[in-house]
Structure 1
Amino acid sequence: MIALLSAPSNLGLRPPRPTAVPGCAKAPEALRDAGLFTRFAELGARDAGVVLPGRYSDDASPGRLRNQDLIVEHARRLAGRITEIRTVGDVPLVIGGDCSLLIGAGLALRAAGRFGLVHLDGHTDFRHPGNSPACSSLAGEDLAAAIGRHWPAIADIDGLGPYFRAADVTHAGCRDEDEELAEVTQSVGLTIRASEILRDGAIHAGKRIRQHLDRTELDGYWLHVDVDVLDPSVMPAVDSPDQGGIEAAQLVDLLTELAPRASGAQVAVFDPDLDPDRRYARTLVEVLANGLGELGRAAAYGPPTERR
């Protein structure tokens, strides 16, 4: 059974303007209002509640992330809830929230075994202290942190880092001009740009990703979906929209290919403040219900095992 877990964190994003806070914390309830939870309930899913974050504060400083202590605390609690869901044999679908949620998922899965990661995102999110002096917002640095290329305070919580081995990671969906594209391509197991998906088709991309991750040494894989993988003509209600993204039908095809064998998934970065008439919330509900309705159906589940 799919278990929808709301995680309305905006802690990993920079403020959209002085004195304002990022609106993606409102996403779970905006999507609920647009019918997401009802659609998944019709598919047999359950509502697994919410993991609330602490109060947002624009407190970045040299060598320290914005909201760092709150992010770590939220990641631990999110990891605990994901573990509870998986322990009873259900499949977590985390509705965020920003991309910093990947750290909580990584903590849960790292404690349970060796899992791969499918990072579907319009950006590589690979800024880190080794390639930029501007580190401060984890939502643009989550993939780097997830494979251990960040400050230990965020990349090695409770001594569990790296949460995913770089060779077990696929990134798909970034634009050709992404600043960290070359480094990511050299670092992780597979990289597929949005332009390749547009050229070759989403089903082809999904099969490439599955071929990379369907390996006996892996206990499964986590599916990270940042909705800015979509083109702004389809989904402009994100904090950093960039031209050249994929279409809604292509994202559905990609998710349909990947979701059945996934160990769980998260959805991030939809911002209801940028969707005043709720049209994009309704679009996203259709994409997620059609693409993730079979989440975990072909994956094996059971109580997580503790191994390093």
Structure 2
Amino acid sequence: MAPIRTFIAAPSNLGLKPPAPGVAPGVRHLPEHLQQFSFASRAGAVQTIYLEPPTYHGDIDPETRMRNADAIRGYSIVLAEQVQDTVRAGRQAIVLGGDCSILLGCMLGLRSQGNYGLFFLDGHTDYMWPEHSATGGVAGMDLALVTGNGHEKLTDIHHCRPYVPEQQVFCCGNRVPDESYVQLIRQSQINYYDLDALRRFGLPATAVQFLQLVETRGLDGFWVHLDVDVLHNDLMPCVDSPQPGGLSYAELRSVLLPLLSAPACKGIDITILDPTLDPDGRYASVFVDHLTGILQDAATAVL
């Protein structure tokens, strides 16, 4: 049976540093940018919800050493309630950011419903806390925060820490080669595959292994996080931290299709494409073609 989908626009830019003094990050325009190409309807959404984010300031909270910490906490609660309502209604959520800090609200919403897994597909690990961050941006810490690492203001909302246990997370696609950057995640209990390891093991095989983990642990389902910077920089250069290399669209399809086809998949969040770096929509239009194609095929797949 094809999933009934709800499209949730969550255009928060609260988790990023200012690209220039006095300038707010442009990812806040992502939902309207993709909607130019009929993203929601082509993705099969029957309902559209817009969650207005707080005003961006970029201030670093002295208590947590994170930017916009109080605003992110408040917005995460609002987003969590919407994700919770969507899942409770038996619908699959498509949450379009914004930056990666929206993952907190997504996983908090699931945590209130039961015990879930997370497939984290990103060109970075996002597994660090403020003392390891040069920017104080929550968008670079989201995986650490949802697994309970960091200040309780963002890791223990509603006393739900962790929103997802490390053992129930696959982190895939990182291509930052700095060993000091990956040391933290290598020491964690997260199932970690950098881009090279992901390709060696096989992208479809990695997805299948994750689905087996969900089944053997008896989880209530899982969530998919997609940061578009996991794609090859030639295909998706309009991101805040571009790097050489990355996945092709064929590779993205090979890993996402089995995940999004699984009945246990409760939703996906999509982040980081900055419309101010894609003014004519050339990269967004191609991205929408590929991702909505995957979502359409996932809706009709028989597993």
When normalised by structure 2's length, the TM-score is 0.91
Q: Which amino acid aligns with 2:126?
A: D
1:1-308 aligned at under 5 Å gives the runs 1-41=4-44, 45-62=45-62, 63-129=64-130, 132=132, 134=134, 136-175=136-175, 177-178=177-178, 179-261=180-262, 262-293=265-296
Q: Return closer, same or farther for 1:176/1:239 CA change in 2, 3 Å cut-off.
A: closer
Partners of 2:43 and 2:295 within 8 A in 1? no
TM-fit CA distance, 1:176: 5.1
Distance across 2 between alignment mates of 1:73 and 1:267: 20
Corresponding residue SS for 1:187: coil
In structure 2, what is the Cα distance between the partners aligned to 1:188 and 1:86? 27
SS at match of 2:60: coil
Paired residues, number: 295
In 2 relative to 1, CA 114–135 (structure 1 residues): closer, same or farther, beyond 3 Å? farther
Any idea what SS the aligned residue of 1:287 has?
helix
For 1:165, give the aligned amino acid: P
Q: C-alpha distance in 1, partners of 2:143/2:158? A: 18
| Deviation (angstroms), 1:240 | 0.6
Q: Per-residue deviation at 1:249?
A: 1.3
Kindly provide the amino acid, as one letter, of the partner of residue 120 in structure 2.
H
Q: Is the 8 A contact 1:12 1:71 kept in 2?
A: yes
For the structure 1 residues 163 and 297, does the alpha-carbon distance in structure 2 shift closer, same or farther, using more than 3 Å as the test? farther
Alpha-carbon RMSD: 2.0
Distance 2:124 2:11 in 1: 21
Q: 2:177 & 2:275 partners in 1: Cα distance?
A: 27
**Is 205-214 or 115-124 further displaced after alignment?**
205-214
Q: Kindly state the Cα deviation for residue 9 of structure 1 after the two structures are TM-superposed.
A: 0.6
Return the letter of the residue paired with 1:245: G
Cα deviation, residue 198, structure 1: 3.7
**Structure 1: distance between partners of 2:133 and 2:274:** 27
Distance 1:296 1:118 in 2: 19
Q: Relative to structure 1, is the Cα distance of residues 149 and 65 closer, same or farther in structure 2, using a 3 angstrom cutoff?
A: same
**Structure 2 stretches of 5 or more lacking a match?**
none
* TM-superposition CA deviations, 1:69-102 (whole Å, max 9, x none): 1111110010111111112211111011110011
1:169–1:190 CA contact under 8 A, matched in 2: yes
Tell me how far apart the structure 1 counterparts of residues 96 and 103 of structure 2 sit (CA, whole Å): 12
How far, CA to CA, are the matches of 1:289 and 1:24 in structure 2?
A: 20
In structure 2, relative to structure 1, the CA distance for the partners of 1:294 and 1:91 (3 Å cut) is: farther
Larger displacement relative to structure 2 (214-223 or 179-188)? 179-188
1:139/1:74 Cα in 2 relative to 1: closer, same or farther (>3 Å)?
same
Structure 1 alignment gaps of length 5 or more: 300-308
Residues 148 and 156, structure 1, Cα contact 8 Å, conserved in 2: yes
- Distance between the aligned counterparts of 1:204 and 1:133, measured in 2? 33
8 A contact 1:126–1:140 mirrored in 2: yes
Give, in whole Å, the separation in 2 of the partners of 1:8 and 1:99: 10
- Offset at residue 156 of structure 1 (A): 0.6
SS for the counterpart of 2:96 is strand
Letter in 1 for 2:154: I
> Which secondary structure state, in structure 1, belongs to the residue aligned with residue 67 of structure 2?
coil
Q: Distance in 2 between matches of 1:204 and 1:73?
A: 38
Q: Matched residues in 1 for 2:91 and 2:151: separation?
A: 33
Cα 1:295–1:96 change in 2 (3 A) is farther
Deviates more, 1:158-167 or 1:57-66: 57-66
Paired residues of 1:60 and 1:66 also in contact (CA < 8 A): yes
For 1:296 and 1:40, locate their aligned partners in 2 and report how far apart those are by CA, in whole Å: 9
C-alpha change, 1:28 and 1:265, in structure 2 (3 Å) is same
Task: Provide the C-alpha distance between the structure 2 equivalents of 1:158 and 1:296, rounded to a whole number of angstroms.
Answer: 34
Q: Distance in 1 between matches of 2:112 and 2:163?
A: 9
How far did residue 211 of structure 1 move? 2.9
Cα separation, partners in 2 of 1:238 and 1:79, compared to 1, 3 Å: same
Task: State the distance in 2 between where 1:117 and 1:296 align.
Answer: 20
